[in-house]
Structure 1
Amino acid sequence: MGVAPVRGGGGNGDRQRMPEILDAAERAEPPTEPEPGLTTVHDPADVHDPGTADRPGSEGDEIGTAAQRPPPGVAHSSAVMAIGTLFSRATGFLRTVTIGAALGTALLGDAYQAAEMIPYTVYELLLGGMLASVFVPFLVKRRKRDEDGGTATEQRLFTAVFLALLVLTVVAVAAADWLISLYAGEYEGRQREVTVLLTRLLLIQIFFIGVSGVSSTMLNVRHRFGAAVWAPVANNLITMAAALLYLWFAGRGRTAETVTDSQLALLALGSAFGTVVQAAVLAWTLRAAGFRWRPRLDLRGAGFGEALGTAAWMMVYVVIAQAGVLVTANVATRAGDRAAEAAGHPVEGSGLAVYKFALVVFQLPYAIIAVSVITALLPRMSDHVADGRRDLVRADFSRGLRLASALLVPLSAGMLAFGVPGAVALFAHGSTTPDGARRIGIILMVFAAMVLPFTVHQLLMRVFYALGDTRTPGLVAIPAGIVQTVTAFALLAFVPPRQVVIGLPLSYGLFYVVGGICAALVLRRRLGGMDGRRILRTLVKLHVAALPALVFAVAVVLAISQVHGEQLSAFLALIIGGAGGGLIYVLTARLMKIAELGYFVDLARSRLPGRG
């Protein structure tokens, strides 16, 4: 699992850029009138940040440690961590592309994606959510409070997790057929056999995912963040190698009927081996940090029950988010199966695989930009909450959203313009045909409208966590989850099977739209407003500034589509349209005097050789 870069300190070479930009924006804006009286619901230090809580597979979540501000002594590692996060994200994306090239976007690709989601979902529901949101702050307090520095508590936790993982893995492998009925209820015959085989082999990963999770948790409380950033890179590279070996031995265009069990085993066991290596790296790093495991079963009085009770509402949010993953997978697999049945043969791009590939691309801007904003904002908001200053918390949220939007708005426009050519350029290789890649691009274009709602929702959740309020995120997730579920199954019932997957981003996005509206209404009352007028004014200006760039990008795509060779024209459209559109956006925003983008531009100029 990825880990967020921590806020930098020290010299300019090691400092992260986002805190500098936030500082510049804060200095440029007029000071707020003090509004004291803000109170916390619980001690914010009692609950860690669970991340987005809805990742449906192996892609990491960089928010995990953003909620805990490390001491200044580790600030020098921020550059290393930032680079590690970038490599983790890049190799994770290449892993997705390689799997697509190996298996394609028809039923065989759907089978792998369903099987690959299950171990991560099972782990997250039964153990991972608790490790992320509960036990980091719990262990931090015990290390400070206990006479032995929390050693006994850590030994008990590691023992309990180890035994739970063994039981959970064995039970999950035995229940693989039942789990497939949940995720892909209409699979039959060889399609079901293939999915069950892949699931059984990939479920072995639960144990090693869990070892990685508990090792990362203990490294986190020791302020050792680097290994948790870099270990997923090894996992990604090994899985990519397994996919390439599969492609070499099996060849392109295999289907559920023509693929052999041994070929599937090569791919699945290779992917599982990547998880083993990741766990080994983290466990070795934990040992190097001084931890020596001595099994302890005397769990009574360890305080685990109290810690879990503190985060009960956080777990409600995690469960509902994972339920949304289940619903999406179920609807997508059913739609793909029905499309193939209606056509009488496997159909490219109608099921889970294309949805998953588009989702990975969609979340990249958030992972790179919004996570940096959140990582920098959380310590500020926590300090202002401690001072009871709701005006400053409100300003933090507004400033963070406006700054993130300055980059996310043009990127969402880019998804709209370059969705199809970009998907063709990246995914139309190996077993993924150009038609399958185009379907990924169309889904990505629908996802483009969800970039801002997704980001707004995540920022709102972090305000609640800074206030020590886990109950409200859990409550607002309930109506949001209901709307997502109803919409997804309505698509399956009323939309032609081949088109269902194109509408699923709307179901996904409605979770964040509904949840965000509910959360904003609660915070508006608690903070005395949300600075809504300034936020809306900035968003309108940013979209107006992005419009000429969008027109230029679309014109380039249409013009270059006449070039011979679809992949060549796709690459040319990305390069020319992306560079030209980006320049037009920057110039238009400067002419419109949009300050939020100006901070980024000014900082970039200051970093040029020969500048200050």
Structure 2
Amino acid sequence: MNRLLRAGAIMAAGTMVSRLTGFIRTAVIAAAIGTALLGDAYNVAYQIPYILFDLLIGGMLSSVIVPSIVRAQKHDADGGKAYEQRLLTIATVLLIGVAALGVLLAEPIIELYTSDLSPRGVEVAATLARYILPQIAFFGLGAIAGAILNTRDRFAAPMWAPVLNNLVVIGVGLAYIFVIHGSDDIDKVSATHLAVLGLGTTAGIVAQSIALVISLHRAGFRFRPRFDLRDSGLGELAKLGAWALAFVGINQLAFVVTTNLTTAAGSRAIAEGVAYGAGWTPYNYAYQLFQLPYGIIAVSVITAMLPRMSRYVTDGRLDLVRDEFSSGVRMVCSVIVPAGVLLMVLGPAVTVLIFSHGANSVQDAVYIGNVLQVFGLALVPFSLFQLLLRVFYSFGDTRTPALVALGNAVLNAALSFVAYLVLPAGQAVMGMAFAFTVTYTVGAGATWMLASRRAGGLGGRSVLDGLWRMYGAALPCAAIALGVLWATRQLVGLGTLGSALMLVVGGGLGMAVYLFLAHRLRIPEVNSIVGLVAGRVGR
């Protein structure tokens, strides 16, 4: 528990700075290009490299690559060095080829992910995609470097490197606004404006990857290309990776449905005279904010937990697998539970403070906050689902997660389509966020049963007891935040000042009440986190 907490704390610090600078980056880009058609074009183009990377390498990192590196380090005579060299070589070559192909096919790819986007919108998005798609090769280099670092229990660099990426893009966004005076109108944006946005976005990923390669070199890794693949062990990786790729492919098909429905909803909302952005960009920005507590806490714990669980499975110690998982879930939920409750109350205050500037109105920002409130319901089931997948991955099972993902994708697509058809254009995206919530609630329940059967139990009674106490401590904190929200709106309204007061006073008092009640209810994970923070502050 303490070991997991310490490793998680190191990564959480880096992830927190990374996510916070990421939201500054998002706010700057939103202020520069808005949340309407140009915002949709940029954000769709921005997502494509991540999608292609996930399809090829990203989806295999936690499910296959990290456990495979751990096994190679444990069983190979050279401690897995040759295995790592071959893996990095193949990944880099593959992704360079994919990046080149993506640049050539940028326009058809954009058309796949959008609906009802004007010809000018497709042209702008495709131009941005051509500038941004070379990121894929640098993603691969940095991601494999980060995976190798994680298996050496070096967690700091992979969590801190994205800060460089964010700082570069923040600089690009500020230059777009104040130096070249770029347009937020999709019909007026120039080729120079698009080049600054696209190449600047790619420059951020290049900086991030270079930082990870330097960290790997300092850890003693010396890279040399290796193409001797016979009897290398990569064949087994490929077999396991086939189901991992199926998992990612299924999720990306669901993403295609979501982007098409949200961009169509945004175009329909504009046609119907809705006065705020109500398409893919609000959904995307709300989803990024929703991911903040998950990324800071859950990803940090998952990253520290998976290599150890993989070692325990290799050693046949299922009791330690269960203990590691149960401790990880309780630790994550001790922070995720109050965070999700506060997001449901203070979502618009968060988004007004971040997004109501430049090309965006307060109404645009409030709508993003309304979507975020709905996503807040999904925070606990989504985080639990991601933790459960790591149980299967530690066993080298990538088939079960792929089948679960298929069920999730079908349910989410069906519910999202219903939301698009039934709800007014201005509320359709909120309905799709609720479809996401329902999907992961059902998915987490089904996955728990499957994972528990695989591991011979997951300590469900202990986890459930902890969750009841955590919610018991979180609900009063939500009531206090709601009271501060109401009082502030009456006194100063929901502007920048009012939002800041709501977050500082409402969020601060709410978390203070949660920590007090958690201590009184004897939630050990909260006490451990507070003790760790207090100990570090006192040094």
Q: Deviations over 1:506-526 (max 9, x none)?
A: 232333223212212223444
Offset of residue 547 of structure 1: 2.5
One-letter code aligned to 2:379:
V
Say whether the 8 Å CA contact 1:131–1:217 is kept in structure 2: yes
- Tell me: CA distance 1:407–1:229, structure 2 relative to 1, closer, same or farther (3 Å): closer
Say whether the 8 Å CA contact 1:329–1:352 is kept in structure 2: yes
Aligned-pair identity (%): 41
Q: State the partner residue of 2:340.
A: 412
Which of 93, 116, 125 is the equivalent residue of 1:186? Answer: 116
Q: State the partner residue of 1:305.
A: 235
Q: State the partner residue of 1:160.
A: 90
- Tell me: CA distance 1:396–1:240, structure 2 relative to 1, closer, same or farther (3 Å): same
Q: State the partner residue of 1:278.
A: 208
Number of aligned residue pairs: give it: 538
Q: State the partner residue of 2:106.
A: 176
Distance 2:227 2:316 in 1: 42
Greater displacement, 445-454 / 390-399: 390-399
- Tell me: CA distance 1:141–1:535, structure 2 relative to 1, closer, same or farther (3 Å): closer
Which of 424, 433, 453 is the equivalent residue of 2:352? Answer: 424
Say whether the 8 Å CA contact 2:67–2:394 is kept in structure 1: no
Offset of residue 529 of structure 1: 5.0
Say whether the 8 Å CA contact 2:470–2:523 is kept in structure 1: yes
Offset of residue 256 of structure 1: 0.8
Q: State the partner residue of 2:131.
A: 201
Greater displacement, 384-393 / 197-206: 384-393
Which of 20, 37, 42 is the equivalent residue of 1:112? Answer: 42
1:583 aligns with 2:512: yes
Greater displacement, 594-603 / 265-274: 594-603
- Tell me: CA distance 1:417–1:164, structure 2 relative to 1, closer, same or farther (3 Å): same
Q: State the partner residue of 1:460.
A: 388
Gaps of at least 5 residues in structure 1 are 1-6, 10-15, 20-65, 67-77
Say whether the 8 Å CA contact 1:140–1:221 is kept in structure 2: yes
Offset of residue 276 of structure 1: 2.1
5 Å matches for 1:320-339?
Answer: 320-339=250-269
Distance 1:222 1:347 in 2: 52
- Tell me: CA distance 1:377–1:228, structure 2 relative to 1, closer, same or farther (3 Å): closer
1:520 aligns with 2:445: no
Q: Deviations over 1:218-265 (max 9, x none)?
A: 555566554433332221111111111111245487211122221121
5 Å matches for 1:293-372?
Answer: 294-343=224-273, 347-372=275-300
Which of 548, 567, 581 is the equivalent residue of 2:476? Answer: 548
Greater displacement, 230-239 / 385-394: 385-394
Distance 2:208 2:341 in 1: 36
One-letter code aligned to 1:170:
A
Which of 472, 476, 483 is the equivalent residue of 2:400? Answer: 472
Say whether the 8 Å CA contact 2:182–2:189 is kept in structure 1: no
Q: State the partner residue of 1:88.
A: 18
Say whether the 8 Å CA contact 1:420–1:441 is kept in structure 2: yes
One-letter code aligned to 1:366:
Y
Distance 2:229 2:486 in 1: 65
One-letter code aligned to 1:191:
G
Q: State the partner residue of 1:128.
A: 58
Offset of residue 377 of structure 1: 4.7
Say whether the 8 Å CA contact 1:252–1:431 is kept in structure 2: no
Higher helix share: 2
Backbone CA RMSD of aligned residues: 3.2
Q: State the partner residue of 2:33.
A: 103
Offset of residue 595 of structure 1: 5.0
One-letter code aligned to 2:496:
Q
Under a length normalisation based on structure 2, what TM-score does the superposition of the two structures give? 0.89
Distance 2:461 2:85 in 1: 52
Say whether the 8 Å CA contact 1:253–1:431 is kept in structure 2: no
Tell me which structure has the larger Cα radius of gyration. Answer: 1
Which of 484, 498, 502 is the equivalent residue of 2:412? Answer: 484
One-letter code aligned to 2:505:
I
Which of 484, 493, 496 is the equivalent residue of 1:567? Answer: 496
Gaps of at least 5 residues in structure 2 are none
Distance 1:105 1:474 in 2: 33
Q: Deviations over 1:300-358 (max 9, x none)?
A: 44442222113333332222223332322222112112212232xx8532111111111
Distance 2:2 2:468 in 1: 32
